[in-house]
Structure 1
Amino acid sequence: MDRPQPPTLLIVAQAGRLTYEAVLFLASLRQAAPGWTGRVVLAEPLPGPLWPGDPGIDDDEARALLIEMGAEIRGFDSLHFGAAYPHGNKVEALSVLDPDEPFLFFDTDTLITGPLDTVAFDLDRPSASMAREGTWPEIQLYGPGYTETWRAIYDRFGVPFEPTLDLAQPDEHWERYLYFNAGWFYYRRAGVFRADMLRVMLGLRDDPLPELVCQSFDPWLDQVALPVVIAGLGGGRPGPELAGLDGDITWHWRALPLLYARASDAQLAAFEELTAPNRIKRVLKRYEPFRRMIYQNRGGKVRALFDQTRLPRPERALRSRIKRERLWLR
Structure 2
Amino acid sequence: MTDTHIFFVADGERLEWQSWLLAASLAHAHRGRGDVHLYAYASPDWLEQVGPVTRAIYAEAGVDLRALPESPNWAKPYPHGNKIVAATDHRGPGRGIFLDTDMICLKPLTELADLPATHIAAAPEGRPTWGPDDRWQRAYDHFGLPLPTSRVRLLRGDRPEHLPYFNAGLVAMPEDAQPDGKRFADHWLETALDFDHKCKIANKRPWLDQITLPLAIARFGYTAHVLDESWNHALSHRGSAIDQTPDAHILHYHRFMFLRAAPQWPGILQRFFDLVPRAQHPAATDRLREMNLLP
TM-score (norm. length: structure 1)? 0.70
Seen in structure 2, the aligned counterparts of structure 1 residues 192 and 18 have a Cα distance that, compared at 3 Å, is same
d(CA) in 2 for partners of 1:120, 1:103: 8
Alignment deviations for residues 255-276 of structure 1 (CA, whole Å, 9 cap, x no partner):
2122234x2x2x1232332344
Alignment deviations for residues 249-307 of structure 1 (CA, whole Å, 9 cap, x no partner):
1111122122234x2x2x123233234446374443353x65351222xxxxxxxxxxx
Give identity over the alignment, percent.
23
d(CA) in 1 for partners of 2:61, 2:75: 27
Q: Pick the aligned partner of 1:59 from 51, 60, 73.
A: 51
Matched residue count = 266
**RMSD value over aligned CA atoms?**
3.1
Aligned to 1:293: 292
Check whether the contact 1:166–1:178 (CA below 8 A) recurs between aligned residues: yes
Q: Pick the aligned partner of 2:135 from 145, 149, 156.
A: 149
- 1:64 deviates by 3.0
d(CA) in 2 for partners of 1:283, 1:97: 33
- 1:183 deviates by 0.4
Q: Pick the aligned partner of 1:238 from 210, 226, 230.
A: 226
3-state SS of paired residue (1:105): strand
Check whether the contact 1:67–1:73 (CA below 8 A) recurs between aligned residues: no
Aligned to 2:38: 40
Aligned to 2:236: none
1:204 maps onto 2:202 in alignment = no
Q: Pick the aligned partner of 1:134 from 100, 108, 128.
A: 128
- 1:150 deviates by 0.8
Seen in structure 2, the aligned counterparts of structure 1 residues 161 and 10 have a Cα distance that, compared at 3 Å, is same
1:165 maps onto 2:162 in alignment = no
Seen in structure 2, the aligned counterparts of structure 1 residues 228 and 35 have a Cα distance that, compared at 3 Å, is farther
Q: Unmatched 5+ residue regions in structure 2?
A: 177-181, 234-246
d(CA) in 1 for partners of 2:22, 2:49: 15
- 1:228 deviates by 1.0
- 1:101 deviates by 5.3
Kindly indicate which of the two structures has a greater share of residues assigned to strand: 2
Q: Letter of the aligned partner of 1:43 in structure 2?
A: Y
Matches within 5 A, 1:171-190: 175-189=161-175
Q: Pick the aligned partner of 1:78 from 71, 75, 78.
A: 71
Seen in structure 2, the aligned counterparts of structure 1 residues 224 and 38 have a Cα distance that, compared at 3 Å, is same
Q: Letter of the aligned partner of 1:5 in structure 2?
A: T
Aligned to 1:274: 271
Matches within 5 A, 1:244-255: 244-246=231-233, 248-255=248-255
d(CA) in 1 for partners of 2:94, 2:107: 24
TM-score (norm. length: structure 2)? 0.77
d(CA) in 2 for partners of 1:20, 1:202: 30
- 1:185 deviates by 0.6
Aligned to 1:221: 208
The structure with the largest alpha-carbon Rg is 1
d(CA) in 2 for partners of 1:72, 1:136: 34
- 1:98 deviates by 4.9
3-state SS of paired residue (1:74): strand
d(CA) in 1 for partners of 2:291, 2:105: 23
d(CA) in 2 for partners of 1:82, 1:204: 10
d(CA) in 1 for partners of 2:94, 2:73: 22
